[in-house]
Amino acid sequence: MRLLSVRLIVSLIVGVALVSLCSSYYQVLMLKRGLRRDLQHRAEVLAESLAGNVERDLERDAQSTLQRTVEHFANREHLTGLAVYDVQGQPIAVTTSLEPLMTSAPAVVAQALKSDKGTDAFLRMGGAPVHIYALPLHRGEDLVGGLAIVHDASYIRDESLRIWRQTFLSALAHVFLIVLITLLIVRWSIAGPIARTAHWMKALRTGRAASARIKAPDMELFRPLAREVATFAESLNTARSAAQLEARLRDSSESMWTADRLAVHVHDRLADSRLFVVSNREPYTHTRRGKLIEVRVPPSGLVTALEPVLRACNGTWVAHGSGDADLETVGKGDRLSVPPDDPRYTLRRIWLTKEEEAGYYYGFANEGLWPLCHIAHTRPIFRASDWKHYQEVNRKFAEALLEEMENIVRPVVLVQDYHFALLPRMIKQSRPDARVAIFWHIPWPNPEAFRICPWQAELADGLLGADLIGFHIQSHCTNFLQTIDRIVESRIDWEHFSVQRLDHQTAVRPFPISVEFSDELAEPPRESAYEERATLLKTLGVEAACMGVGVDRLDYTKGILERFLAVESFLEKYPHYQRIFTFVQIGAPSRTHIKRYHDLQAEVEAEADRINWRFQTDKWKPIVLLNRQHSHEEIAPYYRAADLCLVTSLHDGMNLVAKEFVATRRDELGVLILSCFTGAARELQDALQVNPYDIDQTAEAIRAALEMPPEEKQQRMQRMRKLVREHNVYRWAGSLIGELCDVRLDVSAGSNERFRAGASVG
Ligand code: G6P
């Protein structure tokens, strides 16, 4: 570094000095030219004005007057003197001071007489620089002699020297200042960041960065480079963590799933085929923000689960293009490669009209099937027009999917959720060689509840087109088979949990979905839960010692109102917790075009206001409602800081908030209060399980959580963390795809050929 600085300084000095020299040279040259021109002009004007007088004196032969005239001009500024010569160059009158030097006419006078016009020259006389201007003198038409005006030109040289001196001094000052400023810039903006980056990279290389929490430095000027280094560092970190994890796995022989293991697994199972995923939500949304287009990954468990799979096997994801800038960001065939900054797989966007979206998504899926499958006492609404749109949109997706699968032998298709109950049959009818699974992310109710749907048979038939149907838990599988048993002609094999309809067999299995458990890759928190809680509550403007958290889409199935009532009951029963305990509810507005959801938002706000009004003080309130979409990164600090997390769904397929809370608690503290009506309750037996309809029971659970001895908290959390770590989202995807690839296809080679040629949707 020191050597670099010396080189830099020398180069700067040489460079700045050279530039200053050239510019001074030019300046002096210009000045000299100006002064000379000025002197020439002055001499010319003087000669012209004197010529008349001198000519008259010559005519009168007035030698003495002539001598007086030449003497008179001897004292003017810079004027050395005058001389008058006859045509032979003999002096007639010469200023006394010039006499010894100008005994005969200088060459310039002879030249002027010869050419009969004013001539000048800069020359040296008596060792000093002078300027002589010679003008021919006439009597009438005849040439009678010449007048020489002699100026002292040494001031021109003096002036040039003065400028040279000045320039030298200012160049010196420039050099000094520029070198100083450059060195400071180099130190602050280059050497400093480089040194910090080197320190950071060394920490990365030696593996200290993750553990010692050495953050990536801000590289200022080198931001583009910094981005590359950061990505590189991240890959390095991921690779190291994966290697460590592998080693740990080998060591403990745990059957743990990672993104890498899933990638290898899917790759092996697919062999030469391809994976296709269909879902309503897309993994990347393009939205307009002023003039810019922003790419967003929706905070969805489904996206977290399926992204690594798609990335690993270069598959295709077909989804509804719902972003307002989605259309302008697709390429040919409405496809684009994603992730945008590291393309690994294809996203095919499907466009829906407003009417289609209203009928299929808001109407049939979310006002019909959603409340039908969730027993939360909101009456399902079934409109024939919604059903029509639901069918049409399923067909639209099927057509697009068949187009994507053309020329792909034995494609593997994962259909997601209740938006596409008809899709499996549509696909299988055209492509019996495809392996099709549908995963139903919400509960399946008992047959009594399901039979109110006017199109129950059509839905059942559509689903039974699949080779595999997945639910979160066994009881949803059982409910499904019982429903099928009642509504369609089929043979149920209860031993193997499958359905035989005509000549097609559908397996029905539980695959409990989960979350990523990224302890090994994540940075440990900077603060303790206690410190983080104080910071968060301060930003929310509340003073409290204990904090609970709830994170949900604002949905009537989530039991948010029941939760608030439980908080109220708890504060009523245990008033000493007033001013001590605050409950933070993060509620993301959802499906707000539906009246029930719109009304719910207002109800939730009103209920929080009512309870707050009842208890709140200047600095404290019982409920803080954060009514907007929060990213994973924004939610994590609340999970880490909370004494307890409340999940009080009235009915829920799985509920990933419960698992996310557990996965986030690296400190092994924090208590989970979990509704017994969630799928997660089957696995997370160490949560405090409650019936959310029983307000007192939930209030008691809040007290129990806050007063639970730390050892018990830790033991419960350790067990839950072990479970979520082992049953993470990669295992979910791995088992689902593994099971689907094991399905025996009931298709002949002949029909394969037929489908490769391309058939339309039935
Ligand atoms: C449920 C569904 C998911 C869906 C989520 C968000 O959990 O099972 O498939 O992603 O709700 O709902 P939205 O209607 O916003 O996609």
**Is it the case that residue 212 has pLDDT exceeding 50?**
no
Q: Name 334's Cβ contacts closer than 8 Å, sequence gap at least 6.
A: 321, 348, 349, 350, 351
Locate 712 and state its tokens.
């018990």
Consecutive H or E run containing 725? helix 710-726
Q: Is the shortest distance between the CB of 472 and ligand 1 below 6 Å? A: no
- Name residue 213's amino acid: R
DSSP conformation class of 577: G
pLDDT in tens, 296-305: 988 777 887 7
Sheet containing 79-86: which strands, arranged edge to edge?
A: 91-94, 79-86, 142-152, 128-139, 119-125
Rounded distance from Cα 176 to ligand 1 centre (Å): 66
Lowest mean pLDDT among 97-111, 147-161, 251-265, 543-557: 251-265
Q: What average pLDDT score do residues 214-219 get?
A: 64
Rounded distance from Cα 671 to ligand 1 centre (Å): 26
Please indicate whether residue 198 or residue 462 has the higher confidence score (pLDDT): 462
Please indicate whether residue 718 or residue 177 has the higher confidence score (pLDDT): 718
What pLDDT, on the 0 to 100 scale, is given for residue 745?
82
Provide the percentage of residues in the chain whose pLDDT is more than 70. Answer: 90
What pLDDT, on the 0 to 100 scale, is given for residue 250?
59
Q: Phi/psi of residue 314, each to 5°?
A: 50, 50
**Is it the case that residue 407 has pLDDT exceeding 80?**
yes
**Is it the case that residue 753 has pLDDT exceeding 80?**
no
Q: Phi/psi of residue 364, each to 5°?
A: -65, -45
**Is it the case that residue 253 has pLDDT exceeding 60?**
no
**Is it the case that residue 597 has pLDDT exceeding 90?**
yes
Rounded distance from Cα 304 to ligand 1 centre (Å): 13
- Name residue 315's amino acid: G
What pLDDT, on the 0 to 100 scale, is given for residue 610?
98
Report the Cα 47 to chain-centroid distance in Å.
80
What pLDDT, on the 0 to 100 scale, is given for residue 348?
98
Q: Is the shortest distance between the CB of 281 and ligand 1 below 6 Å? A: yes
Q: Is the shortest distance between the CB of 417 and ligand 1 below 6 Å? A: yes
Count the helix, strand and coil residues of the chain and give each as a percent rounded to the nearest 5: 55, 20, 30
pLDDT in tens, 681-737: 999 999 999 999 999 999 999 999 999 999 999 999 999 999 999 999 999 999 999
Q: Is the shortest distance between the CB of 319 and ligand 1 below 6 Å? A: no
Q: Please, are residues 548 and 567 in contact by the beta-carbon 8 Å criterion?
A: yes
Q: Is the shortest distance between the CB of 415 and ligand 1 below 6 Å? A: no
Closest C-alpha to ligand 1, atom 10: 300
What pLDDT, on the 0 to 100 scale, is given for residue 757?
35
Residue the block writes with tokens 């409109």: 383
pTM, two decimal places: 0.69
Banded model confidence at residue 495, pLDDT cuts 50, 70, 90? very high
Which atom of ligand 1 lies nearest, measured to the CA of 280? 16
| Best mutation site among 278, 279, 280 for ligand 1 pocket (most ligand atoms within 8 Å of CB) | 280
Banded model confidence at residue 203, pLDDT cuts 50, 70, 90? confident
Closest C-alpha to ligand 1, atom 3: 441
| Best mutation site among 441, 555, 629 for ligand 1 pocket (most ligand atoms within 8 Å of CB) | 441
Closest C-alpha to ligand 1, atom 14: 591
Cα(454)–Cα(681) distance, integer angstroms? 32
Phi-psi region for residue 640, left (φ > 0), alpha (ψ -120 to 50) or beta? alpha
Rounded distance from Cα 281 to ligand 1 centre (Å): 8
Locate 662 and state its tokens.
């557990």
Cα(113)–Cα(99) distance, integer angstroms? 20
Which atom of ligand 1 lies nearest, measured to the CA of 417? 9
Rounded distance from Cα 296 to ligand 1 centre (Å): 16
**Is it the case that residue 213 has pLDDT exceeding 60?**
no
What pLDDT, on the 0 to 100 scale, is given for residue 754?
36
| Cα dihedral 67, 69, 72, 75 in deg (nearest 10) | -90
Q: Is the shortest distance between the CB of 374 and ligand 1 below 6 Å? A: no
Please indicate whether residue 758 or residue 61 has the higher confidence score (pLDDT): 61
Please indicate whether residue 326 or residue 520 has the higher confidence score (pLDDT): 326
DSSP conformation class of 743: P
Closest C-alpha to ligand 1, atom 15: 590
